[in-house]
Amino acid sequence: MRKAVIGVAAAATLLAAYFAPEDEGGVVGPAAATTRERPAAPTLAAGLQAIAREAGPDLTIHPRSVADDDLGNVFAKHSWQPETPKKIMLAQAEPVGAKLAAAAPGAPPLPFQFLGRFVDEGKAAYFLQADGRNLVARVGEKVDEHYTLDSASGDALHFTYVPLNQQQSLVVGDVN
């Protein structure tokens, strides 16, 4: 019984599709629909419906503006402040000495981290880490191609950056 009902429904659907009128390719919108409308009652709801039918939805496609490009970017800069015009800053003349001081090369920051110290037969060895490598340094030795360990005080190791002959210190705290 159930199969027969499904079969009859399928046959009716196929017949309806076969005998359906040809479509002219256009889309029928709300204004072109042929429906029978009853006269509107003088109520507020009827007045609102009439206004909605007259205005209709805005279905025009507008080109994207430049501001719309940032709508999908979650990392875009957003601000409630109005945009201010950019001011053109005139370059002010700097003293020649300031330019030379800024251009003078300096030693890079020390790449070492202090890990610990070991004393064997009166000689201290300092354990350092640079760029993931563990190093052992003693006073007077060259460390990591560009540095030499000059001296060690109670709370600091004093290095010389060999290419520029500049002194630098690494604070290690009290060494036990």
Report the candidate in 135, 137, 134 with the shortest Cα–Cα distance to residue 126: 137
What was the pLDDT predicted at 101? Answer: 58
Does residue 57 lie within any of the structural domains? no
Does residue 117 lie within any of the structural domains? yes
Residue 150 neighbours by CB under 8 Å, 6+ apart: 139, 140, 158, 159, 160, 167
Does residue 18 lie within any of the structural domains? no
What was the pLDDT predicted at 99? Answer: 61
Write out residues in the chain with pLDDT < 70, as ranges. Answer: 23-45, 47-49, 52-53, 55-60, 62, 64-72, 78, 84-104, 174-176
Does residue 118 lie within any of the structural domains? yes
What was the pLDDT predicted at 4? Answer: 93
What was the pLDDT predicted at 140? Answer: 92
Does residue 91 lie within any of the structural domains? no
What was the pLDDT predicted at 28? Answer: 54
Beta strand spans in the chain (E): 113-120, 123-130, 133-137, 142-143, 147-152, 156-161, 166-171
Does residue 65 lie within any of the structural domains? no
Does residue 156 lie within any of the structural domains? yes
What was the pLDDT predicted at 10? Answer: 93
Does residue 99 lie within any of the structural domains? no
What was the pLDDT predicted at 52? Answer: 64
What was the pLDDT predicted at 96? Answer: 57
Place of tokens 């993931």: 132
Residue 128: CATH number of its domain: 2.30.30
What was the pLDDT predicted at 40? Answer: 46
Distance of CA 139 to the CA centre of its chain: 47
Distance of CA 13 to the CA centre of its chain: 54
pLDDT digits (tens, 9 = 90+) for 102-145: 666 788 999 999 999 988 888 889 999 998 899 999 999 999 88
Query: Based on the structure, what is the number of domains in the chain?
Result: 1
Range of the domain at 156: 113-171
The whole-model pTM stands at 0.42
